[in-house]
Amino acid sequence: MTSFQKFHEEWHEHLRELVQQMTKAPKSCTTNQDEQHTELLIQKVTSHINEYYRVKSLAAKNDILYIFSAPWSNSLERSLYWIAGWRPTTAFHIIYSECGIHLETHITNFLNGFRNDDLADLSSNQLTRFSELQCETIQQENTITEELSDWQMEKKMERLVEILERADEVRVTTIHKLVHLLTPQQALQFLIAATYLLFGIRTWGINHDNQRTKG
């Protein structure tokens, strides 16, 4: 196991600990202490994400093809990758999905005069900025995809490192911008959902690979 692969596994284990802390957080911030606790958890998770991409960048400069081959990932994870990682616009689909899941409860509470402050309770200003940010992210994805297509004609490893760094930068900034756009409770809900999706795909992929090996 390489040093980055070991880091990758340890990083996921720490993320599991963080998501357990997030799920135990209050569903609504009724006190300043609750809000501070929620904001601290969000900061911990975003810092954890920043650390992953910092170490990944160093590993990519050492061996870019190793990062693209991603031997630490299962076949399902690799099939979903966009430039050696998750597609940034996936974050928007997660929020859309969470909005739909909580919509029925939100309507009932709204009729009763309550607000949930969850992802189904986005304000008009949030929705406008959300749509703008999604369009910006799609454009960035398309530009970087074109750069990767052009690289296939050049095949210079230094250029491939630059393309990966740009893709990772979009991944990280998308998360930070969304967290900034959302309320603390909404951001926490988003990060929990994103983490569950990450773990779900990982578990499903591992089980699939194990069954294929046995078969």
pLDDT per residue as tens, the chain (215 positions):
689 999 999 999 999 999 999 999 877 766 778 789 999 999 999 999 999 999 999 999 999 999 999 999 999 999 999 999 999 999 999 998 888 755 455 545 544 544 556 787 888 899 899 999 999 999 999 999 999 999 988 889 999 999 999 999 999 999 999 999 999 999 999 999 999 999 999 999 999 999 888 76
Q: Indicate the burial class of 54 (C-beta count within 10 angstroms; 0-12, 13-18, 19 or more).
A: exposed
Cα→Cα distances 154→12, 31, 58, 158, Å: 35, 57, 23, 10
Three-state DSSP class for residue 38: helix
